[in-house]
Structure 1
Amino acid sequence: MANSRSGQDEPAAPEAAPPVHDLGGGVRSVEVPIPDNPLGHTLVYVVDTDRGPVLVDTGWDDPGSWDVLTAGLAACGTAVGEVYGVVVTHHHPDHHGLSGRVREASGAWIALHAADAAIVRRTRETRPERWFTYMTAKLEAAGAPEEHVAPLRGGPRRRTSLPGLSPALPDREIVPGELLDLPGRRLRGVWTPGHTPGHVCLHLEEEHPARLAGRGRLFSGDHLLPGITPHVGLYEDPDDATVTDPLGDYLDSLERIGRLAPAEILPAHQHAFTDAPGRVRDLLAHHEERLTALHALLREPLTVWQVAVRMEWNRPWEQIPYGSRNIAVSEAEAHLRRLVKLGVVEPVAGSEPVAYVAVR
């Protein structure tokens, strides 16, 4: 832009420094942005090893996100070409999205739990039309109104709008209880299903750099966050009719992390925090309150959609965007499945779409 007073070009504004935080003990974090998402960014962790840096998650597959990740690695004194490995907490695109590009640039291996690796393979092999057909049927079975279901029957433009349709296949499996290949470090996988069936936390079994009381540090992915309750919905598989209990899985996993009692939690969003057992207690109480409130709602028969509309969310139902409503319906059904498994709710015989009612 020309300077109106001097007639000379203004110098280009310096690029903002990438948001990098040194967490001590050879661990840093880079805030990799998530486009058009209220979460803002994914915290990608850079862990020094004797063979080069290992990343915990990589961020969203977007050109701007890639630029921030590479600039962040440079600010850490390394480069993407030097990355030795990528450990992915779970398959969601804001965590696994850039893994393939990191591997292409560096030859790094990618590690993922077997359950989420199976989802990655299925996603790559399933045509988008199959997913939309499946989701249409799921929403119809939930009792969603036609005006909500209709957009899923749209044309090709709609069908190419989903992210993460070709996620990178992993090279290695994160085996719960076993140490990962981080020379000079002790990082152990802890299976924490709930948010996804193959979600893992990663326990860095080393003394805290500030000598905080507790058992090392824990990369918690989306399992344990300081101010957000992670989404727990259904494990969607068009070709598998197994009735899962993801909320039960999540609650069990929370208790496992509470017993581990790490000195510090390094989550994938927001910020690092301490007192993991206290945060676990808060989340267990939150879900107990939701289940109790839902049970009270079901004095009268309600479909999954009707339950979702009546549940308490972080904003009124009328303000929840279309895609987030689908997520809410999945979460409502996960809570219903938990109540059914506990024996206090059951489906109403012959109802279509299926309605649920409290039985005790």
Structure 2
Amino acid sequence: MSLPSITFTGHAQKEAWQNKVLPPVEQICEDVWSVPVPFPGSPMRYTVSYLLVGDGDVVLIDPGWDSDAGLRLAGLGLSDLTGIVVTHYHSDHLGMAARLRAASGAWVALGDLEVRRLSACEDLDLVLHNDREKMTLWGVPAGRLSEVAMDKPTLVHLQDLADPDLRLTDGSLVPGRGLDLKVVTTPGHSPGHICMVDETHSLIFSGDHVLPRISPQIALELPGPPNPLADYYDSLDLIAFEDEMEVCPAHEYRFSGMQRRVAELVKHNRERSAEVLRVLDRHRAETVWDIARHLTWSRGWDSLQAVSLRLAVSETASHVVYLRSQGHEINVPVTEPRLGALR
């Protein structure tokens, strides 16, 4: 049975997405603007930041990738910036926070469960060694390890991302006079991802937790939460409390119909887990890599390279651990006690 579709509300954003151009800066409603920030070298193309003006306080949600082009766009109206809220610890969301904080004096806030993991260790060589061991355990061929595994420049980049000045707990309000932003902790895409609900303007800022077209990556990372897909399902239940508010995601375009979209995402991930079981039954896969290469990918398995390939394998691993938690016996190595102990 087909699910009822969501309603697109960001028409200029959707047209820009289809035409592969940057959407315009838009005033969504009184005191709320959407500001696209380029995400160079990514198929996502840009991150949508949101600027909220309160009673003397100005807060920016998800400042985006750190770049001069992005800074020029984000500089619109930011002279009075007092706060920066980031939905999660990814470079296309947190990247420009340090530069904006230095320029404006604004505080930076993340969810209280969002922590540095790979970049928290000072011994980068140890992190790189463990990451290659994980990928080897998952069956990545030796000839593709260098392509898929983390490298030192990436780790250094992650270490340079801004540390937060504030931590936001579930159910708390984002500090800001004249603002009404309630925090909802929504782990899954990252361990401490948060969404924000603005009941005054009937808006939900969903970060990467719920996007209108793409199913967010739910990847298993070691060290990290043991069952991120289960966390994601729980988080979807938390955010699907109504269907009329306008959803403001960090990518693609605005829409309404959160409950409908959540139902689609749950259905998609359930079908993906079922496909993993079919692959195990038909191909006698012995590693996560063996499973992943037999799954359906939007542009085909052979098109996946570098980061996209890493995410595909990590996403497959998350389905394996979820299926095990549901009682399925799957004899595919995913973690070792030593790697798991790093959490």
* TM-score, scaled relative to structure 2: 0.85
Comparing both chains, which one has the higher relative contact order based on Cα–Cα distances under 8 Å and sequence gaps of 6 or more? Answer: 2
Q: Which runs of 5+ in 1 are unaligned?
A: 1-15, 209-215, 355-360
> Residue 145 of structure 2 is aligned with which of 146, 149, 158?
149
Distance 1:197 1:301 in 2: 28
What residue number does 1:319 align with? 303
Question: Is 131-140 or 24-33 further displaced after alignment?
Answer: 131-140
**Pick aligned residue for 2:238 from 238, 242, 256:** 256
- Give the counterpart of 1:198 among 168, 192, 195: 192
Q: Quick one: distance in 2 between partners of 1:38 and 1:221?
A: 17
> How many angstroms apart in 2 are the aligned matches of 1:244 and 1:353?
10
In structure 2, do the counterparts of structure 1 residues 82 and 220 end up closer, same or farther at CA, with 3 Å as the change threshold?
same
Q: Distance in 1 between matches of 2:334 and 2:245?
A: 50
Counterpart AA for 2:116: I
Structure 1 runs, 4 residues or longer, greater than 3 Å off: 124-128, 150-154, 351-354
> What letter corresponds to residue 276 of structure 2 in structure 1?
L
Instruction: Check if 1:347 corresponds to 2:331.
Output: yes
Of residues 183, 186, 211 in structure 2, which corresponds to 1:189? 183
Residue 131 of structure 2, aligned match among 129, 135, 145: 135
User: Which residue of structure 2 aligns with residue 8 of structure 1?
Assistant: none
Q: Counterpart amino acid of 2:68?
A: P
CA separation of 1:49 and 1:296: change in aligned 2, threshold 3 A: same
Pick the aligned partner of 1:234 from 210, 220, 237: 220
Q: SS of 1:65's equivalent?
A: helix
Q: Is the Cα contact below 8 Å between 1:140 and 1:353 reproduced in 2?
A: no
CA contact (8 A) 1:246 1:334 kept: yes
Instruction: Give the 3-state SS of the residue equivalent to 1:23 in structure 2.
Output: strand
Please state whether the residue corresponding to 1:82 is helix, strand or coil: coil
SS at match of 1:346: coil
Letter in 1 for 2:86: V
Letter matched to residue 313 of structure 1 = W
Q: Note the C-alpha offset of 1:252.
A: 1.3
The answer for the alignment partner of 1:55 in structure 2 is 60
Q: Does structure 2 conserve the Cα–Cα contact (< 8 Å) formed by 1:295 and 1:345?
A: no
CA deviation string 1:87-145 (max 9, x = no partner): 110010000111111110111111111221x217x625434433321221011101111
Equivalenced residue count is 313
Shift of residue 43 of structure 1?
Answer: 0.4
Q: Work out whether 1:287 is the aligned partner of 2:269.
A: yes
Q: Deviations over 1:17-75 (max 9, x none)?
A: 983111012100111000111111000100001123200010101222222221xx2xx
RMSD between superposed Cα atoms in Å: 2.4
Q: Secondary structure at the match of 1:43?
A: strand
Given that residues 189 and 202 in structure 1 are in contact (C-alpha distance below 8 angstroms), is that contact kept between their aligned partners in structure 2?
A: yes
Give how far 1:345 is off: 2.9
- Once the two structures are superposed, the pairs formed by residues 1-360 of structure 1 within 5 Å of their partners are 19-70=24-75, 73=76, 78-79=77-78, 81-116=79-114, 118-119=115-116, 123-150=119-146, 159-161=152-154, 163-206=157-200, 208=201, 216-237=202-223, 244-261=226-243, 263-299=245-281, 300-347=284-331
More displaced stretch, 294-303 vs 30-39 = 294-303
1:219–1:182 Cα change, 3 Å = same
> What secondary structure does 1:265 align onto?
strand
Contact 1:58/1:95 (CA < 8 Å) preserved in 2? yes
- Supply the AA of the counterpart residue of 2:135: L
Report sequence identity in percent: 34
Distance 1:150 1:224 in 2: 32
Question: Which structure has the greater CA radius of gyration?
Answer: 1
- Structure 1 partner of 2:14: none
SS across alignment from 1:292: helix
Conserved 8 A contact 1:195-1:233: yes
Please state whether the residue corresponding to 1:293 is helix, strand or coil: helix
Kindly state the Cα deviation for residue 266 of structure 1 after the two structures are TM-superposed.
0.4
Letter in 2 for 1:159: K
* SS of corresponding position for 2:158: coil
Structure 1 residues 17-26 or 272-281, which shifts more? 17-26
Cα offset, 1:167, TM superposition = 1.0
8 Å CA contact retained: 1:191, 1:198: yes
1:165 partner amino acid: Q
Q: What is the CA distance between 1:298 and its match in structure 2?
A: 1.2
Q: 1:135 to 1:352 in 2, by over 3 A?
A: closer
The CA deviation at 1:247 is 0.5
Please state whether the residue corresponding to 1:110 is helix, strand or coil.
Answer: strand
**Matches of 2:313 and 2:233, distance apart in 1:** 19
Shift of residue 322, structure 1, vs aligned partner: 2.0
